[in-house]
Chain A
Amino acid sequence: MRSQSVVLDVQNVTKKFGLVTAVNHVSLQVTEGEIYGLTGPNDSGKTTLVKMILGHLRPTSGNIVVSGYDNQKEYADAVDFIGATMEYPNHYPYLSGWQNLMLTANMYPEITKARVDEAAEQVGLKSVIHQKVKSYSLGMKQRLSIAQSILKYPQLLILDEPIKGFDPSAMHDFVQLIKSIAANGTSVLLTSYLLGEMEELCDRIGIMSHGYLIAEKATEDLQKGDDSSFILRVGEDSEERAFQVLRENQNKDVSETYAFDKTAECVFEIKDCTMSPSRLNRILVEAGVEVEEIRTHRQTLEELYTSLTGGAEIE
């Protein structure tokens, strides 16, 4: 997080469709310049939440505040700060990419033709911008949507599944583009099923399931890892000895405890360890165990996701 100024404040929001609760008491905040990723299985409520933020749907209860404006009571003011791309790119196919961008540019006096050119170039569509949108591929349409949403330098950029149809090169460009936009102070809320890219791109990630926001984690924390968890790898001949030593020393001293699991051949996961890695190493070496590696355990987003959702299929 680069700043504490809250751009998007979702306050205890619920959305019901008849008897079905699509979003259930969700609260989240996105601060200035932050890239917030939202992921979750099918029908977890991500798109419904995005639609409520955009004002397309009215929350059954709760409030959504964008840059200090309630998006129900002061809708026009609230949406003025938002740029958005929806799950399926929506354009007038009989108009050119340029005309589609100009339709948005016309709405904001501050957007010049030079800015339209710049946005087209930023998303890599400059060479085809005067072609009719009906001739574009899905990836090109996605990029046009992104260009449209960043035209006015929004304070909050909402991207609902923006990387569908991107090839690896376009994906790389996209990551760089969003990072540069965020570096200029724009907050980004994006939903995606590509966990690897989310982890690379986002500052914070929220996981939704069955309408609930079940976890929120800073990617910095994911990358930094957990100081009380280690991965231990030993030589092939020391596996049994290592197991024995670990078991013997477990709960031996009240002030130095740990739990362990054997997760793979020659690999142990040491959890809730109050002992320093160097002391653990010394105990093992003194007992004749050939220690090949001791490192802090870093949980990947995928592992976190799987542990929380039971590996449910994601969109």
Chain B
Amino acid sequence: MIEVKKLVKRFGLKTVLRGVDFHADAGEFVILLGPNGAGKTTFIRILASLSRPSMGQVKVAGFSLPDQSAAVRQRLGVVSHMPLLYDDLTAEENLQFYGRMYNIDALQERISTVLDLVGLSARRRDMVRTFSRGMQQRLAIGRAVLHDPDVMLFDEPYTGLDQDASEMLDVVLKNVAAAGRTVLMSSHDLARAEELGTRFDILTRGIISASCTRSELGTRNGSFIGGNLLTFYKQALAG
């Protein structure tokens, strides 16, 4: 569902991505880890068709970027650390607006389903301005799944959330991923990542330097005690 070959992205003279190879199938929940400035956000923005690749092949949901970007956007849901919502509209109005942008039929029914999914049905007529950060983030996820995308991209969705809000977001994310979608999420929170992800890719200095699946985690390092995501991450960064 996501296929990236030798992706290079330059901003003027600065090369941010230096040949990323990446692949994710339907049903996979891939977590993208890496230090700040490694290019995670840039990578996700390219997959989201918000940024043009300088070189290389990018295919999302079966369509290549940037040539078929409208087809990709139809099948893609994106959540970033910014909510992409309008403060002066209610939760429902925000979804109505985005529903029209995606040309969704039977919109009202769909909005109710989505608001149920993210647990905001009771607040549907309240302005987004009055929402807590966690509620805004859940509504942002509702906005992203509104058009039933095949591929979902999450860029640091936990930024600025407290413990409770993060746990609620866990539930929503699991539900969203359960529908057989391909999910790619960047994160700094290793504990949360370990719980959600089926595979872990590490992006350092502009390339994917290491990758392992959840089942490989325990055995990979040969040490059962330290064989968790943290040791894998540290070894990947060191080597």
Partners in one complex: no
**Contact residues of B with A, CB < 8 Å?**
none
**Contact residues of A with B, CB < 8 Å?**
none
